[in-house]
Amino acid sequence: MDRTLFSFILLITASLFVSSCSKQDDESEASNNTSQTVMTKTSSAPIKIDPALAAEGEALYNQNCVFCHQDDAIGKPGFAPSLTNQEFLSASSDQFLMGTIRDGRAGTGMPPFSHLGRKQVEAIVAFLRAHAKVPNRSVEIDAQPASHGDERLGQFWFDSICSTCHGPNGDGYAAGGTGTAIGKASFLDKVTDGFIRTTIKEGRTNTRMIGYSGPAAMADLSDGDVDDIIAYLRTVPSR
């Protein structure tokens, strides 16, 4: 290729890249300046969190949840996870959050709070949602296809990587791990394969759950590897 033409193409490409980055920065700043709103995949307009409902939820949270999950639901490492982690809120549907609060997590320290009733549980979810700073992607994530991985290969990856934090049987904190009990039926029955897949690939900021997909990851797992792990996880409660 002619060197002059090549230089011209590089200049145009660089200009487009800078323009794109500038636009993303502007959009990010606008998003950060938006208070008490949550974006959804199915709507171009932000869904406003009712401040009164969120305030009611905060009061209920402080009465029922703060001992384990701490102030502002930031969690306590090795004891209770953060409920305001941005990746967690983005991937979690209201149905998942409400179901977890209502039913608890059998086999863990998370008891059921069904005595609160639907309206009060909704208020707690509104309080958690008020902490969201990124779009909610749960509709998109939950619509991902089911895993058709090889559980035998998945066990190799789980034993090699996941068990370090989540325990050899996915028992989490109860096994002395720093990660949650992802091997319990009470968790697996409430999450989609898309939720698990996204968490493995993207990780959770400010936690030991790093992303495991991409060249910068600790282990650059392929899509097939991730689906193998999911397939194995689905078998753990029955083992």
At residue 26, does pLDDT exceed 70?
Answer: no
What would the mean pLDDT of 72-97 be, rounded to a whole number? 96
At residue 68, does pLDDT exceed 80?
Answer: yes
- φ and ψ at 22, to 5 degrees? -65, -40
The pTM for the full model equals 0.79
Residue type at position 67 = F
What would the mean pLDDT of 76-102 be, rounded to a whole number? 96
Which fold would CATH assign to domain 144-238?
Answer: Cytochrome Bc1 Complex; Chain D, domain 2 (1.10.760)
The pLDDT, as a whole number, for residue 135 is 93
Which fold would CATH assign to domain 44-138?
Answer: Cytochrome Bc1 Complex; Chain D, domain 2 (1.10.760)
What would the mean pLDDT of 42-61 be, rounded to a whole number? 76
At residue 1, does pLDDT exceed 60?
Answer: no
Q: Which residues of the chain form CATH 1.10.760.10?
A: 44-138, 144-238
Cα(81)–Cα(85) distance, integer angstroms: 9
Cα(205)–Cα(25) distance, integer angstroms: 20
